[in-house]
C-alpha cells in the first residue's frame, strides 16, 4: 500500500507511514499502519520536506489525533483515580514465582505491571506528547493511532533503525532509579554498572540482538561492555549496535518482525518466557512493549519499543 501511495503522489520513496505492533498477536489489540495526509519529514541535517499525499489516497485511522489546543487544564490526579494492576503484593508474588522457575530452560522473564488512570476528562494525546518531549528531548516520543485508541509515550529504547544499508539498535536492560541528591544518584548509577545480576540479564539481550541482526548484516559491531544511559527518572544499561546490511537489504519492517519481542521486554527463551507472561500477567499488554515507529516506501524506518506510554 505504501509503495502504491508513493507512486501515485510522486513521493520519490519519501512517503511515510507510522504504526504500532502489539506485544503479542494473540491479544485484543491489532497492528496499525497509517499514512497521514500531510507529513513534515526531516530527511537530512538542514533539510525539511513537506509530503502532501492528499485526502483521497489516505488510509484513515479510526482515531484521529486532531489539533493541539492552545491550552488544556493542568489538574493533578488523586490517589483514588489510580489503580495498580496487579497490586504491589500480587506483583511481588508473581516475581517470586518467576525466580523459582529460572534455570537453564528459562533464563529470563520480564513481568510488566500497569496503572489504570481515571482522568475524569478527555486527554489530548498530541499535547501530552509535546510535554513528554519537553521533559526528555532525547527519547523517542510518539502519539500514534491504534485499534484501541491513541498510544502516547516517550521511549528511551531503539528497537531498530534502517537508513539505506545502515542498521542500528540500542537495547536497554537493567535499570536503577534516579535521585535528586547528586551523591545518591551517582551511587545508584555506579551500583547498576557494577551489578552482576543486571549485567548478566543485559548480556542475554545483547546475545539475542547480535544473533538476529547478524543474520541480516554483512558487518555488525556493538559496544564491548554496557554503558549507562541517563533519562530524567531512570538509569539504564545500554549497548549500541551498528551494522551494514547484506544485499538485497532487508527493510525496516522485516527487521522489526525478526527482533520483536526482544528479551528486554519478554525473556529468554522467547516462547517459554511468553508462556509464563501469559500465565502470570493479569492483563493484556496491548501495544505496550510492542514496536512503534515509522517506515517509508524505500524500506527505511525507525522503530522504538513502546515503553513509558499510555
Annotated catalytic residue, options 56, 122, 157, 254: 157
Annotated catalytic residue, options 108, 116, 122, 254: 108
Do 80 and 221 lie in a common domain? no
Active site residue 157: yes
Do 90 and 127 lie in a common domain? yes
Longest dimension (CA), the chain: 58
Do 96 and 220 lie in a common domain? no
Which tens digits make up the pLDDT trace of 22-66? 999 887 788 999 887 777 777 666 666 666 666 544 433 333 334
Q: Cα separation of 286 and 26, whole Å?
A: 10
Do 120 and 13 lie in a common domain? yes
Burial of residue 147 (number of CB atoms within 10 Å: 0-12, 13-18, 19+)? middle
pLDDT attached to residue 46: 62
pLDDT attached to residue 67: 38
Q: 28: helix, coil or strand? A: coil
How many domains are there within the chain? 2
pLDDT attached to residue 309: 94
Chain mean position to CA 36: 21
Which tens digits make up the pLDDT trace of 239-250? 999 999 998 889
Q: Cα separation of 84 and 77, whole Å?
A: 14
Q: Which domain holds residue 219?
A: 165-248
Do 222 and 299 lie in a common domain? no
The verdict on residue 310 lying in a domain is no
Do 157 and 188 lie in a common domain? no
Point out the residues of the chain with pLDDT beneath 50: 56-73
Do 133 and 171 lie in a common domain? no
pLDDT attached to residue 56: 44
pLDDT attached to residue 28: 76
- This prediction has a pTM of 0.88
Active site residue 108: yes
Amino acid at each position: 500500500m505504501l509503495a502504491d501511495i508513493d507512486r501515485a503522489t510522486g513521493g520519490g520513496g519519501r512517503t511515510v507511514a507510522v504504526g504500532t505492533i502489539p506485544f503479542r498477536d494473540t491479544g485484543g489489540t491489532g497492528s496499525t499502519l497509517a499514512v497521514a495526509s500531510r507529513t513534515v519529514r526531516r530527511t537530512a541535517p538542514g533539510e525539511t520536506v513537506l509530503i502532501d499525499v492528499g485526502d483521497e489516497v489516505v488510509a484513515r485511522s479510526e482515531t484521529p489525533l486532531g489539533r493541539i489546543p492552545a491550552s488544556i487544564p493542568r489538574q493533578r490526579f488523586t490517589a483514588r483515580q489510580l489503580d495498580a494492576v496487579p497490586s504491589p503484593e500480587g506483583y511481588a508474588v508473581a516475581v517470586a514465582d518467576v525466580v523459582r522457575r529460572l534455570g537453564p530452560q528459562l533464563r529470563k522473564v520480564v513481568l510488566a505491571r500497569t496503572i489504570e488512570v481515571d482522568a475524569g476528562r478527555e486527554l489530548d494525546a498530541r499535547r501530552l506528547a509535546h510535554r513528554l518531549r519537553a521533559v526528555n528531548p532525547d527519547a523517542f516520543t510518539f502519539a500514534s493511532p491504534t485499534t484501541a485508541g491513541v498510544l502516547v509515550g516517550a521511549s528511551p529504547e531503539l528497537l531498530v533503525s534502517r537508513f539505506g544499508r545502515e542498521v542500528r539498535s540500542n537495547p536497554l536492560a537493567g535499570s536503577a532509579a534516579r535521585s535528586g541528591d547528586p551523591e545518591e544518584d551517582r551511587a545508584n548509577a555506579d551500583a547498576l554498572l557494577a551489578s552482576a545480576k543486571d549485567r548478566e540479564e543485559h548480556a542475554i539481550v545483547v546475545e539475542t540482538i547480535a544473533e538476529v541482526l547478524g543474520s541480516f548484516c554483512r558487518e555488525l559491531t556493538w559496544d564491548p561492555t554496557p554503558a549507562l544511559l541517563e533519562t530524567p527518572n531512570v538509569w539504564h544499561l545500554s549497548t549500541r549496535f551498528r551494522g551494514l546490511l547484506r544485499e538485497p537489504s532487508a527493510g525496516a519492517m522485516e527487521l522489526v518482525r525478526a527482533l520483536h519481542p526482544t528479551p528486554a521486554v519478554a525473556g529468554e527463551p522467547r516462547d517459554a518466557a511468553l508462556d509464563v507472561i501469559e500465565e502470570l500477567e493479569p492483563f493484556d499488554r496491548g501495544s505496550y512493549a510492542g514496536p512503534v515507529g515509522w517506515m517509508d516506501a524505500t524500506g527505511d524506518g525507525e522503530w522504538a519499543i513502546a515503553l513509558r506510554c499510555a
